Each structure stands twice: as C-alpha cells, then as structure tokens.
C-alpha cells in the first residue's frame, strides 16, 4: 500500500539504511565507554521511542531500560522552555551512570532540565545520546555527548518525531512541507 503520509514530506533527509548504520556506530561508542559502568538508559517518550528501541538492541553490554515523559511542545513547533514531567522514572538512579536517549536536541531546555533532575537525584554521571542535533536553535548551553546527525533549522518528522502527534511511524526522517504546520 502507498504510504499516505508521503505527500506531506518535502524531502527525505536520512533514509532507514542511513539511520541503521548510524545507530550501529553510536552503539559501538556507547559499549566502549560504558563497559565497566552501571549503565541505566532513559528513553524520553514519546519521540525517542523508535530510536531507543533500535539502539538498545545494538548495545551488547548489560543495561537497564527506563522511561520518562516530559512535555515541551504541545501542538506547536516552538519550545516553551517550560518542561513538565508527565511520567517519571520508576527506579532509583543514585550512584548510576545515566544515559538519556533523545530524538533531537533543539533549544536544549529538555535535556538541561533532565540532566539537572538526574544529577539532583544522585546519579554518578549523566550523559545524552541524541539521534539528531539542531545546534543553531540552542537557547541554553548544552550538547549531546553522542549525536547521530547534525541538521539545519528545519522542522522534521519521522522515526519517532512527530508533528501534532502524527508522522512518528515513518521509516525515514524527512522535512515536513511548511504548508502543513503554517
Ligand atoms: P528542546 O527542549 O527544545 O531541545 O526540544 C526537545 C524536543 O522537542 C524533542 O525531544 C522533540 O520532541 C521536539 N522537537 C524539536 N525539534 C523538532 C522537530 O524538528 N521535529 C519534531 N520534534 C521536534
Ligand atoms: Mg521529544
């Protein structure tokens, strides 16, 4: 069946093969760096879920899976800088090496908030692996420690990323046609 979301996509930035290759590279780095650590991964719902599932299957060292859900965007395309926790971790991260898995670091508010939250709870280290990075949009000083692709200031969807809750189930990452969100 023809993909009914395709008409709304202006161009494909990264296809499924490119994403899979990148995930393998990121997994190799993470394995190397966390070999002797007590790795606790935290998936930031909902956007990171697709990336997270595929990434952890490539990481060949012991790890714990955890989920957190925060709100930042609502139905617009601009970050509020006002982050609320909608669903919290169910595990004690005191003394653990926490790796936050994100879909994208945009303004940086979400990542900074989560990092401070986890450090405040006594995590030994807190790092971030993000599939995408939009550095030109940063409003606070923070960088992902592991980053898949750096992209310009374009609104993208697919592979877990949404616009108004849709397009998460695209196999690739694409730029949404501006007329869809304007
Ligand atoms: P930040 O707090 O501004 O860094 O935003 C982080 C969150 O905003 C990400 O986890 C995404 O859910 C969302 N986001 C930022 N840019 C995009 C985009 O281009 N497409 C879809 N979601 C985005
Ligand atoms: Mg997100």
Task: Give the right CATH number for 17-153 from 1.10.3720.10, 3.30.70.3460, 3.40.50.360, 3.40.50.2020.
Answer: 3.40.50.2020
pLDDT digits (tens, 9 = 90+) for 74-121: 545 555 567 889 999 999 999 999 999 999 999 999 999 999 999 999
46 C-alpha vs ligand 2 centroid, how far in Å?
Answer: 6
The pLDDT assigned to 83 comes to 87
Query: Contact, 142 vs 114, CB < 8 A?
Result: no
| pLDDT over threshold 80, residue 1 | no
The sign one gets for the Cα dihedral 104, 110, 116, 119 is negative
Active site residue 15: no
106 C-alpha vs ligand 1 centroid, how far in Å?
Answer: 5
Query: Contact, 31 vs 59, CB < 8 A?
Result: yes
pLDDT digits (tens, 9 = 90+) for 118-133: 999 999 999 999 999 9
- Give, in order, the Cα–Cα distances in Å from 123 to each of 3, 96, 147: 43, 5, 21
In this prediction, residues 19-44 reach a mean pLDDT of 97
Q: Which of 8, 36, 103, 106 is catalytic?
A: 106
From the CB of residue 86, how many other CB atoms can be counted at a distance below 10 Å?
A: 10
- Cα distance between residue 182 and residue 172, in whole Å: 22
Domain extents for the chain?
17-153
The pLDDT assigned to 72 comes to 72
Closest CA to 127 of 94, 100, 96, 163: 100
Q: Which ligand 1 atom is the nearest neighbour of the CA of 137?
A: 3
36 C-alpha vs ligand 1 centroid, how far in Å?
Answer: 32
Per DSSP, the residues of 116-176 read HHHHHTT-SEEEEEEEEE-GGG-SSS---SEEEEE--S--EEBTTB-BTTBSTT-SSEEEE
Q: Which residues pair with 105 in a beta bridge?
A: 133
């Amino acid at each position: 069946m023809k993909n009914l979301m395709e008409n709304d996509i202006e161009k494909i930035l990264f296809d499924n093969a490119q994403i899979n290759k990148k995930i393998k590279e990121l997994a190799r780095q993470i394995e190397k760096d966390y070999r002797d650590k007590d790795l606790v991964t935290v998936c930031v719902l909902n956007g990171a879920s697709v990336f997270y599932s595929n990434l952890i299957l490539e990481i060949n060292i012991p790890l714990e899976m955890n989920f957190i859900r925060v709100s930042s965007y609502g139905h617009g395309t601009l970050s509020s800088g006002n982050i609320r926790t909608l669903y919290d971790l169910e595990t004690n991260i005191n003394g653990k090496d926490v790796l936050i898995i994100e879909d994208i670091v945009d303004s940086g508010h979400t990542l900074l908030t989560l990092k401070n939250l986890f450090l405040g709870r006594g995590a030994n280290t807190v790092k971030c692996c993000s599939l995408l990075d939009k550095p030109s949009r940063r409003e606070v000083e923070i960088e992902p420690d592991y980053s898949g692709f750096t992209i310009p200031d374009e609104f993208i969807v697919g592979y877990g990323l949404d616009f108004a809750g849709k397009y998460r189930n695209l196999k690739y990452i694409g730029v949404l046609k501006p007329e869809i969100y304007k």
